[in-house]
Structure 1
């Protein structure tokens, strides 16, 4: 999910309407009617970070129901916020770096632990689709910068100007003071991450972002890094991160969440332990005043959870029982 302001001043916005449920096809669902006398099914299940995950989930669900692969569903789903100029932290319309350049990161991972990633990619609206091409059409995991752009063009993607007028105005206003603070708030939370448990019980995941606004040119966050922004083991579960990428990278966050699930912890327990580890390691860090990190996770049984350092982190969940709805993550710090 526009200048950077303190997360705690904006977080309440993201919690509005979290009890509303929708079917993944788009119509309203009465939760009581659906669940009464019905044994809940754990799959398929889609989880996406933040409110823009609702639209992403709807499209991904549609793809799954049309017998598309989980990877295709992820590409189509997160492609919705990537193309939405009002989503200021992803793709087209994303807030630029301090030089006014919109640079994008993305990764994708499948049930076989095959993965593809792009970082510091410019002028391509859908980095998640390029990341999938890296997975399917190259022997590599990650391509970056000009090389990633060259590859994208060779695969038929077209260059576009991703800096919208609204984001350009915000950047010019920021230049008046040119102060960078890594505040991750409801308007600048950097990432949409999506995890999919398909009907066969297989896991896949993806992340895409325009990264932290006003970052140094060339900065890459956690989102394209397998093991930091995203990780899964099809025998165990999947996890993905949102928030300040530097803190997630320092702790290999998503990989650690999956490893804790391997040891028998629930998704909530695993997310909580790694968030608290990040919190403790950053207690005296210069970023602590603004630090926000959140994780989503799902295990092979379809249990899911989210947990964050500060309140206000929410995520979209989509299944056959309750439709598409927002759920609020538990947080270590409870006061806004």
Structure 2
């Protein structure tokens, strides 16, 4: 009962002790991952809303392991971009599982992007170079406070640490843009 009640009111987490980070990207689909020394992770993920709604489709945001996945012992991963690719690949879950095996957030996210590329075989989803013609970005944070922003194509993301907020370039799998 307490858990249900907590969901309906603001809950304040204790102030962090030591290193912490939060990763966020604001755009059509917003997401936040956060952690502090006590390993209290949070994750939220919203959809781009009714403007981009496909009738009959739930989207990746509400599907555990697709658009967002959080494990309090390991870390959190979320994404923006083509949600269908997350649904087919359970990308956020894969990233957290890769971190469980010891991968750095960047390497874990690159593994997920490479899986998406391998599984993108429909011609309508490929550009003239045979690469996905859509964007997909991952924002990842582990229990050690390490983080990464990784994207199919170059992009930016914001991170906030004990040193303040900053905008960083993602590590991109491919150069150029999705439509090249």
TM-score, shorter chain, exceeding 0.5: yes
Shift of 1:283: 4.1
Describe how 1:255-270 pairs up with structure 2 within 5 A. 255-270=93-108
* 1:318 and 2:160 correspond: yes
Aligned-residue RMSD, C-alpha: 1.9
- Normalising by the residue count of structure 2, what TM-score does the alignment of the two structures yield? 0.79
Which is greater in Rg?
1
Bigger relative CO (Cα 8 Å, ≥ 6 apart)? 1
Equivalent residue in structure 1 for 2:21, among 42, 45, 55: 45
Matched position secondary structure for 2:168? strand
Aligned mates of 2:169, 2:151 — CA distance in 1: 10
Which residue of the partner structure matches residue 139 of structure 2?
296
Matches within 5 A, 1:1-336: 43-49=19-25, 52=26, 190-211=28-49, 213-289=51-127, 290-312=133-155, 314-321=156-163, 323-336=164-177
Q: More helix per residue: 1 or 2?
A: 1
Structure 1 residues 239 and 213: CA distance shift in structure 2, 3 A: same
The answer on whether the counterparts of 2:78 and 2:92 sit within 8 Å (CA) in structure 1 is yes
Counterpart in the other structure of 2:9: none
Compare the two structures and name the one with the higher strand fraction.
Answer: 2
CA displacement 1:98-146 (0-9 Å, x = unmatched) = xxxxxxxxxxxxxxxxxxxxxxxxxxxxxxxxxxxxxxxxxxxxxxxxx
The structure-2 alpha-carbon separation of the partners of 1:213 and 1:310, relative to structure 1 and needing over 3 Å to count, comes to: farther
* Paired positions, count: 156
| Pair 241,212 (structure 1): closer, same or farther in 2 beyond 3 Å | farther
Aligned mates of 1:303, 1:242 — CA distance in 2: 20
Structure 1 residue ranges without an equivalent (≥5): 1-40, 53-188
2: distance between equivalents of 1:296 and 1:205? Answer: 11
- Normalised to the residue count of structure 1, the TM-score between the two structures is 0.44
